[in-house]
Every structure is written in C-alpha cells, then in structure tokens.
Amino acid sequence: MPFSGDKPFGNEDRLSDSDGSRLSESMACSSSDSESPRESFTSDSSSKHASPVSSPPRTSTFDDVMSTTRNLSNLLLAHEIVANENFHLDTIDPPKNSLEGRVKQIVHKAFWDRLESDLREDPPEYEHAIKLFDEIKEILLSFLTPGTNRLRTQICEVLDVDLIRQQAEHNAVDIPKLGSFIINVMSKLCAPVRDDDVKKLKASGDIVQMLRDVFHVLDLMKMDMVNYTIHNIRPQLQRQLAEYERVKFQEILDKSPDALNQTTQWIEQSLKDAIEAKAQESTSTENGVSVDNLSPTLVLNSGFVKLLHMDYDSVVPETVITDDQRIVDLKNKLHQVKLVACVCLITQNAMGPVSTTGFIEHVKDITAILLQGLNKTFNLKEALTALSTKISFEMNKSLTERGLPALSAEAQSILEGQICSLTEKNHPIYSLIEKRIQEYLTTFLCLPYPFKRVPIIPGGLTPVHKEMEYIGFHYSNIVNFNKQVYGPFYANIFRKLLFSQPQTGKVEAEAQA
C-alpha cells in the first residue's frame, strides 16, 4: 500500500469537520445501485470546502503560472511524503562521463587547486580557507536543536572568523586543532549511520584534503537531517493532508480555471458509458433510462477501474496526478495478473479433471517469472511464445510422472495456440478474466471503509486471489483518499454534467426535470 504502514487511512486520519462528513455521505458507495444523484449532489452545500468553484476565464500572467507551479510542486511533495513510507531524499551525483559530471569535476578541481595554491604561498593566503571554516560553522549550527546553547557557544567561539583571520595574519592558525574540533562536533551531531564516515576523517595538516573530506560528510549529514525532519512531520502531515491538498488544488484552480478539463472529460466519458449500459439493461423491460437511477459514486468508481485498463490511453485526470505512478505500477501488475489467470485457466481446461492445485500453482509461478517486468515496452508476444512451450513441456512432464498419457500433438498445439493468442483483441478467455476482474475491483471500491472483509473472488481468479486482494486493497486506499480530497470537485462536475448541460433523449428530459 502506498500509504504509511501499508494500512489504509484510519478514521483518525480523515477529516472530522463538516466537509469531511458530507464527503463521506456523498462519495461513500451506497448499498443500492439506485442512489439518486439529486440526493447526492443537490443537498445543502454550505460547508467550508463543499462547493469549490473555479475563477472566471482570464488571461494567466507569468506570476500566475509560477504560483501554480509552486502549488503543484508542494502538493506533489506533501502527497509523496505521506503516501510513500519509504520516501527519502538522496544526493544526486551526475554520471562521471556525462557533460554535467565532467563540468562538476572540472569546477571542483579548479576550486580546490586554487585553495591549495593559496596555502602554498609564502606567507599562506588563508582568506578562502577562512570562508570555508565560516561555512562549516553555519552548517554545524543548523544541525543544533533548541536547548543546545553550550555547544552553540563552543562552535561560535572556536570557529570565530574574526579570530581565525587575526591568527592567519600572524601565520598562527592551528589547523589540526580546528580540524579536531570540527570532527568532534560532527561525531556528536551525526546520525549513527555516519559514525564510520566521521571516524575516517583526519585532522591533519593538509587543510585542503581535510576540508574536502569534511564537506563531503557534512553533505551526507545535511541529507540525513532533511530525511529525519521528513520522518518527524509525516504523522502530522498525514492528519492534515486531505485538507491541505484540497486547498492547494483550489489555489491551482483559481490561477488556472481549466485545471479540471481532463478530469471533466474522464467523468463525462464514464457517465456516457454508464448511461449506455443502463440503456442496454432497460431494453428488455422497455423502461427509459433515468439519471436518477445512475449512482455518481458508481460512475466514478467505474472511471477509476477504467484507469487500470492496460489499453487506456486517454489523458490522465488532473486529480490523480499525485498517484499517477502508483496507478501505472498497479496497472502493470494487474495486466500481469490477468495473463497469469488466463494461462492457469487455459492449462486447467487442457488438463481437465487430472489437473491438480499443486501443478496450477507451479504454472502460476512459471508464468509470473516469465512475465516479470511487464509494461507497454515489454515484448509480450515473444514472452508468451516461450511461455507456451514451457507450459506444454511441464504439463507433459507432470502427466508422465503420474503415469498418465501425455498430450496429443493436436491438444498440445491448441494449448500453445491459446496461450500465444492472448495478445489478440477479444480473446474469449482474456475477455472473461478481464470482465470478472473489473467486477471484483468495482465491488472492492464499494466496500465500506475501513475494510472489514474482502469481496469473494470470482471463478477463474482463484489461483491469483492473493494478488487480486493486494491490488484491490492498495487501489481502494488510493481511490478512497482521492475521493476524500477531490470529492467536492467531482460533485461540482457531476452537477454541471447532470443538470446544466443538455443530455439526449429521455435522459435529457429527466436530468432537467
């Protein structure tokens, strides 16, 4: 799960104010599929964040663009800190053979060579070294917490720039003494993981090498301090993240009124799909399609399930940009699970009653290994060809070991052909598995939150039930938190689509009633 502790947000992490409670009522999945959008989206909306509105169209200035960029960056960073429990910052060193890496090496070498040249003069020129000592002092002071007055005083006294400059004028700077003090302070302030790095520092008379080593370790310590701060603020940020993201997105919407265009198109398409599905269902009963019979929550859930389709190439809605990469990862994982389920079902049908649970598990493991790293650039056709040959071999081996006749050449050809053709559009087994997976995920998204149970796994998905529960649990947490943040925006879009814009046929008449 992308959220902290691999657990869904508990009630303590959800908003407790009026907008949070209203959002729970409007976006939580109803027990009936006939939830009225009028009841869900036309109720009193006087709560603080219940009815976000966009600014009227206007020309964006450069300052507006920069402000929007900053808001988006802050929103993404805050969400990532909470959503990714392993989130941390690392120092980025460009590859040595890259242009950036070569430029960095040249600049650094020139700087340290110049410093070494200054110190070799007679008398030595200490000005640049003094500036570096002053920078070290400021870095060490930045590590101190309130209440460490004694250490702060020591640092300021020993690394007093004016005093060091006076000593330099008389060529009386005690480099080893300054180095020892700096290294001693660093040993007190560093994280345990940096103990070995600090111990390797030497307060030698070679001031250039000492300063280079000290700055290297200080850079590591600064990154440790940043990550420590991130770790400490995560619980507080988690409690306030929903409201923070909603406010930041509203600020973006104020600066860029078209910031919900892609989200609107996404919901509009989901609504059209739902209307078409309802129209097909009502054909046999000769009843018209009523918008009142369309649950906005189910329409939205259908849109979220569609985002996990491997062939979904539409533009990503703006409201899911904070979890875009997590959704892509789950999409690739789900595609792999679909194929594994298909191969297991094909194999089971080919073996018939002599198939065993142990062998199907073996087929599952082989398939998962050969399809590892599945994504859009993966050569799926080639992998399935190799997989079909491997499954055919393993099946004959299993049958022979149990004293059963091996597959005939015709049966073996059919088995391999069914596996290789999984890339074809409208493959019957793949379509069946995909339909059942969509039903399973839709049911999962409708479960009351927090989860007390998981949906019953449909037939054909038994071999991958653990993987499906994993995907369903993780995706439900992403979707539920997304609704918590952007529910009011979704509600506003549904109002416009259902009651402001003209619909067609009977839908139009009943939507405008």
For 28-57, the pLDDT digits (tens) are: 343 334 343 333 333 343 344 444 444 444
- Let me know whether 363 and 481 are in one domain: yes
For 361-392, the pLDDT digits (tens) are: 999 999 999 998 877 778 888 999 999 999 99
Q: Could you tell me where the DSSP H helices lie in 256-379?
A: 261-283, 296-307, 324-351, 357-370
- Let me know whether 363 and 216 are in one domain: no
Residues 193-221, mean pLDDT to the nearest whole number: 85
- Let me know whether 253 and 347 are in one domain: no
111 vs 277 pLDDT, higher one? 111
Domain membership of residue 424 as a residue range: 329-486
pLDDT for the residue 313 = 67
Domain boundary among 213, 241, 259: 259
Whether 110 is in a domain gets the answer: yes
Whether 319 is in a domain gets the answer: no
pLDDT for the residue 68 = 61
pLDDT for the residue 363 = 93
Instruction: Provide the 3-class DSSP secondary structure of residue 69.
Output: helix
- Let me know whether 104 and 223 are in one domain: yes
Structural domains of the chain, count = 2
For 235-254, the pLDDT digits (tens) are: 777 778 888 888 888 988 88
pLDDT above 80 for 407 = yes
Residues 177-187, mean pLDDT to the nearest whole number: 90
3-state secondary structure labels for all residues of 434-454: HHHHHHHHHHHHCCCCCCCCC
For 315-328, the pLDDT digits (tens) are: 789 998 888 888 98
Whether 275 is in a domain gets the answer: no
Report which residue type is found at 142.
S
**47, two tokens:** 């709560």
- Let me know whether 373 and 238 are in one domain: no
Instruction: Give CA–CA dist 347/408, Å, rounded.
Output: 14
- Let me know whether 93 and 183 are in one domain: yes
pLDDT above 80 for 274 = yes
Reported confidence tier of residue 277, pLDDT bands at 50, 70, 90? confident
Instruction: Give CA–CA dist 62/353, Å, rounded.
Output: 70
Whether 342 is in a domain gets the answer: yes
pLDDT above 80 for 265 = yes
For 341-358, the pLDDT digits (tens) are: 999 999 999 888 888 889
- Let me know whether 240 and 354 are in one domain: no
- Let me know whether 338 and 422 are in one domain: yes
Average pLDDT of the chain to the nearest whole number: 78
- Let me know whether 113 and 217 are in one domain: yes
Residues 281-307, mean pLDDT to the nearest whole number: 72
Instruction: Give CA–CA dist 438/389, Å, rounded.
Output: 30
Whether 87 is in a domain gets the answer: yes
- Let me know whether 246 and 382 are in one domain: no
Whether 379 is in a domain gets the answer: yes
Domain boundary among 241, 259, 277: 259
Residues 408-412, mean pLDDT to the nearest whole number: 89
259: Cα within 13 Å, side-chain hemisphere: 27
φ and ψ at residue 190, rounded to 5 degrees: -75, 160
Work out the end-to-end distance of the chain between its first and last CA atoms, rounded to an integer number of angstroms: 43
- Let me know whether 236 and 350 are in one domain: no
Distances (CA, A) of 47 to 21, 254, 275, 475: 10, 19, 31, 28
Percent of the chain's residues with pLDDT above 70: 78
Is the distance from CB of 436 to CB of 463 less than 8 angstroms? no
Q: What single string gives the DSSP state of each residue in 347-360?
A: HHHHHGGG--HHHH
Q: Could you tell me where the DSSP H helices lie in 402-501?
A: 409-420, 428-445, 465-495
Domain boundary among 259, 289, 315: 259
Whether 111 is in a domain gets the answer: yes
- Let me know whether 255 and 333 are in one domain: no
Whether 507 is in a domain gets the answer: no
pLDDT above 80 for 289 = no
Distances (CA, A) of 501 to 373, 487, 511: 44, 20, 9
